[in-house]
Amino acid sequence: MTGHDHEHEHAHTPIASGDEPAAAARVRALEELLVEKGAIRVEDVRQRIDWLVSRSPADGARLVARAWIDPEFKERLLADARSAALELGLDPGPSPVVVALENTATVHHLVVCTLCSCYPKALLGPPPDWYKSLPYRSRAVSDPRGVLAEFGVALADDVELRVVDSTADIRYLVIPRRPAGTEALDEEELSALVTRDSMIGVAHASRVETMSPPAYPPFSS
Partner 1 sequence: MDPAVHDRGGWPIDAPIDRSEHELADWELLADALVGALLRRRLMNVDELRRGIESMPPEDYEHASYYERWLHSMETILTEKGVLEPGEVDRRLAT
**Residue numbers annotated as active site:** 113, 116-118
Note whether 191 and 62 are within 8 A (CB): yes
Q: In whole angstroms, how close is the CB of 54 to partner 1 at the nearest point? A: 12
Q: Is 3 in the site for partner 1 (CB under 8 A)?
A: yes
Binding mask 56-95 for partner 1 (x = CB under 8 A): ----------------------------------------
Number of residues that bind partner 1 (CB under 8 A): 59
Q: Is 28 in the site for partner 1 (CB under 8 A)?
A: yes
Tell me which residue of 20, 53, 18 sits closest to 28, measured CA to CA. Answer: 20
Q: Is 155 in the site for partner 1 (CB under 8 A)?
A: no
Q: Is 179 in the site for partner 1 (CB under 8 A)?
A: no
Distance, in Å, from the CA atom of 22 to the CA atom of 148, rounded to the nearest integer, reads: 35
Binding mask 101-140 for partner 1 (x = CB under 8 A): -----------x-xxxx--------x-xxx-xxxxxxxxx
Nearer of residues 77 and 148 to partner 1, judged by Cβ: 148
Binding mask 40-59 for partner 1 (x = CB under 8 A): xx--xxx-xx-xxx------
